[in-house]
Amino acid sequence: MRKILPAVLVAAALGLSACAEKELYGGLTEREANEMVAVLQNANVSASKSSKDGKVWALKTRAEQFSSAVAVLHDQGYPRDKFESLGEVFKKEGFVSSPMEQRARLMYGLSQELSQTISSIDGVVQARVHIAVPEADPLAEQQKPSSASVFIRHNPDVDLSGQVGSIKALVTNSIEGLPYDKVTVVMFPAKPVMAAAPVSPIRSFTMPAIAILAAIGGVGAYVFSRASRGKPRRKLKTLAETGTPVA
């Protein structure tokens, strides 16, 4: 029985841990955590947020819905991409950058800021801006024009075709010497959110109940076994002390 009891307790602990919540993502802002909770709950996926300091948040879901939660969030572009500002790209460093490095940083910083701006448009799930600015050739009679490509993945329920002109104008006015007709915008609809089958309340409590009952049963059996073995010993001891012969 001593060998069975630890196994029963371990099985109960595993059963309880399987039903606990698991962390999906950490290091989130409260706004991003709220958005992700809403997306998951709309897809019938259990979700909750927690924070220790009120500044950095974590997203959790039930263990059995972990894979579904990851798939739903990925299809909706979560967690959102982190973009760098021009100030972060050109932060002070100990070494002096070459003109080529400065130019590369400028192009990268502009693409980051434009990507972030376009990502904030309602209905946009993910956005990327790629900029191509050729180096000036002093010997060329005509310089090659700059160009830019904008990739957008959007909510399938939102029609952004009417915003193409505004997006092209935004990019054109952000990059010096970029002609309007050299900006290409391509859009792709994101995968629609498929609602997961709701978790039955009975199913949610089945595993914890089984685990608890198994633990109680194991402890009860162990106590009963100990008590049953202890009674004859006490009786024999009493007879030995009194000197009464045993028939």
Q: Where are the alpha helices (DSSP H) in 19-177?
A: 30-42, 66-75, 86-89, 99-119, 164-174
Q: Is 197 exposed, middle or buried (0-12, 13-18, 19+ CB in 10 A)?
A: exposed
Between CA 132 and CA 64 the distance in angstroms is 46
Which of these CATH numbers, 3.40.50.300, 3.40.50.2000, 3.30.300.30, 3.30.470.10, describes 86-189?
3.30.300.30
Q: Span 20-75: which CATH code?
A: 3.30.70.1530
Residue-wise pLDDT for 109-147, tens only, equals 999 999 999 999 999 999 999 999 888 777 777 878 899
What is the reported pTM? 0.62
Residue-wise pLDDT for 32-90, tens only, equals 899 999 999 999 999 999 998 888 999 999 999 999 999 999 888 888 888 887 777 77
Topology match between the domains 20-75 and 86-189? no
Radius of gyration of the chain (CA): 33
**What three-state secondary structure class fits 224?**
helix
Residue-wise pLDDT for 79-89, tens only, equals 888 888 777 77
Task: Spell out the domain ranges in the chain.
Answer: 20-75, 86-189
